[in-house]
Chains A and B, each alone.
Chain A
Amino acid sequence: MKSISNADMRTLMFVAIITILAPFIMNPFPTESALAQFNAGYPDLMQRFIIFGILAIGFNILFGLTGYLSFGHAAFLGVGSYAAVWMFKLLGYGILPGLVLSVIVAGIFSLLIGFISLRRSGIYFSILTLAFAQMSFALAYSVLTPLTNGETGLQVYADDPQFLQSATAPNVPHLFGMKMNDTFSLNMGPWDFQFNFGYYICAIFMLIAFYLSIRIFRSPFGMMLRAVKTNQTRLNYTGINTRPYTLAAFVISGMYAGLAGGLMASMDPLAGAERMQWTASGEIVLMTILGGTGTLLGPVMGAGFIKYFENIFSKINETVLHGWFAWMPDGLENAIVWVLHLFTGKGWHLTLGILFMAIVIFLPGGLMEGSNRIANWWKRRKGGDNASDATATPAE
């Protein structure tokens, strides 16, 4: 029996090909050209795309399927990061123990928070998760300093035990000796493509995570979760105990967040409390809604979209703008730059906010709905051609 349908297989393959070719796709402009600043094909940013993609995929299992809006998911991300860095400190820079522990710790943590928060639904659930996340943030920042190293952030020091660290092993996070920050540059004419080992490790985890999420979406468990979203009363009177279903979804999505946190620490071995702050939780919600809640591909697109804006738009400061509009008369140039600088550089949040509003109002299904509409329009256009062909043959 097939475990995954053809259509889902195509989606998975599509994502796999995009991620493998991302160093090319994200880097369309030659290095020396003026447009090079729109390139996103450098390792740090591509890793972020993937890691936040994992986070959003996991969040979507909870929010997209059950409709329970968690406003504290960053807590699991933070916990995962701390767990991974502790493994680096205690055992050494091999990433596997760290990743395993980050998933386990995030799972236990989300079991606790979920068990309490899921006693309520709707806005009360959101507030409870938000409260827990903010508590975790405050604790990590102050009381738990021995565990989290407070505002400095947890990092690996030279006098850490690192029991399993052999003398020959690299002094940065690695997998069986291959360093995460190893980058291979491919120069092709004016282009410079960068292939980063850490990125491909993240990509493998993301593809596994995506595959599992497809399986969950198509499973009886996933169907029950969607039923929770549409009518809990009927589900109760159908002999289903909804609590363990929602709790399982919460823990699964918490573990996804833990994995993302662990990977984040593996790419850059430090963990700070700000990773757990409510703005970080809000960002996860934005990604999922922006991409398309409850769709398979949407959250990944949303994550990429937001991270791109955060990193690329924020780089366009006033100097860059002046450079672009230097050909204009001075007065006009200054006026245009003055208007645009509100939306770029430090003001990139404003652009994101406007885009977010536009998408929520005009495309409630997010970027996924947008791409579906385009696809349908394309099909209709083609279909229209076929229809006009068909008129040539006499109808019965």
Chain B
Amino acid sequence: MGILEVKNVNKSFGGLKALQNVNLDIEEGKIHAIIGPNGAGKSTLLNCFVGKLVPDTGTVMFDGDSLLGIKPYEINQMGVSRVFQTPEIFSELSVWENTLIPCFAKRDGAFTLNALGNVADNKDVAERAEQMLVDVDLIDKRDMLASSMSRGDKRRLEMAMCLSQNPKLLLLDEPTAGMARADTESTIELLKTIQEKLKITMAIIEHDMGVVFSLAQKISVLAQGTVIVEDLPENIKGHPKVKEAYLGEAQV
């Protein structure tokens, strides 16, 4: 039984069938990579997990509950966090405030009218936020404006924001896209440490095969809206169907 179960999901935009009968099973505590050529439907699939898109047919179950028709913030409160392809952070706020906000959201829920309390008085939240910034090595930059950081730092901040909520499932949409080699390496290390330490289930969409094979414990290959192969990493390398999907007609 996986923590996230996707059954027979179909989604089309007009005449374009983005997803066709997708079945996916993400096991608890594992890093599951979803790979595939451009336009294979990876992002569409991810958007169906977080409530941004609703599949035409099929079911998406998370921890025994259906995710269909549920708003993004409710899904997050259920324990799903998402890291975006381009970091989505509060760029006009400080790094510190960026980290505080998810901690407040985790503690106080989707809405609390705490208009007269002082942010600084919430010691438990501050401790949690500080711990996260130490974990991702951004504690020296806590007073910096988030928009003035490098892309790698922004990514790390976003990851800290997601992890501070202690999610059951972490979705990562190309976490190393556009990163320098050194940043990519450090991100891989960071994700590995987190996974070993916290046993958080992760689903990763990734183009960089180096990243995929150094992280994933299971890989699903998506092509033209369907899962063509789902297997362990060692079996994916050199799999004829995968080669065909990536190289297309050139192979024929």
Contacts and interface: CB of A to CB of B under 8 A. Distances in A.
A226 B108 CA distance: 17
Given A223-B101, A224-B104, A237-B72, A231 B89 contact: yes
B232 interface: no
A220 interface: yes
Contact of B114 (A4, A219, A226, A227): A219
Contacts of B81: 237-238
Given A220-B117, A230-B90, A231-B90, A239 B165 contact: yes
Interface string B100-138: 111011101111111111111110000000000000000
Contacts of B74: 239
B214 interface: no
A230 B92 contact: yes
Nearest to A233: B88
B105 A238 contact: yes
Interface stretch (A244-252, A299-307, A340-348, A371-379): A244-252
Nearest to A241: B110
Contacts of A216: 115-116
B100 A234 contact: no
Contacts of B50: 237
A219 B117 contact: yes
Contacts, number: 115
A229 B101 CA distance: 13
A235 interface: yes
A121 B244 CA distance: 46
Given A220-B104, A241-B73, A215 B90 contact: no
Interface in A139-162: none
Contacts of A238: 73, 76, 81, 101-102, 105, 161, 165
B73 A240 contact: yes
A221 interface: yes
A23 interface: no
B101 A1 contact: no
B121 A241 contact: no
Interface in A294-341: none
A240 B165 contact: no
Given A227-B90, A234-B90, A239 B106 contact: yes
A291 interface: no
Listed residue (B76, B106, B111, B114) with the most chain A CB atoms within 10 angstroms of its CB: B111
Contacts of B71: 236, 241
A221 B114 contact: yes
Contacts of A224: 101, 104
A3 interface: yes
B88 A237 contact: yes
A223 B89 contact: no
Contact of A231 (B91, B105, B116, B119): B91
Q: Nearest 6 CB-CB pairs, A to B? A: A239-B76, A241-B110, A230-B92, A221-B115, A234-B88, A239-B105
Interface of A: 1-5, 212, 215-216, 218-224, 226-227, 229-231, 233-242, 244-245, 248, 252
Given A237-B73, A237-B76, A238-B76, 4 more contacts: A3-B116, A236-B71, A239-B77, A240-B101
26 contacts: A4-B118, A5-B118, A212-B116, A215-B115, A215-B116, A216-B115, A219-B116, A219-B117, A223-B101, A226-B93, A227-B93, A230-B92, A231-B88, A231-B90, A235-B73, A235-B101, A236-B73, A237-B50, A237-B73, A238-B101, A239-B73, A239-B105, A239-B109, A240-B101, A240-B105, A240-B110
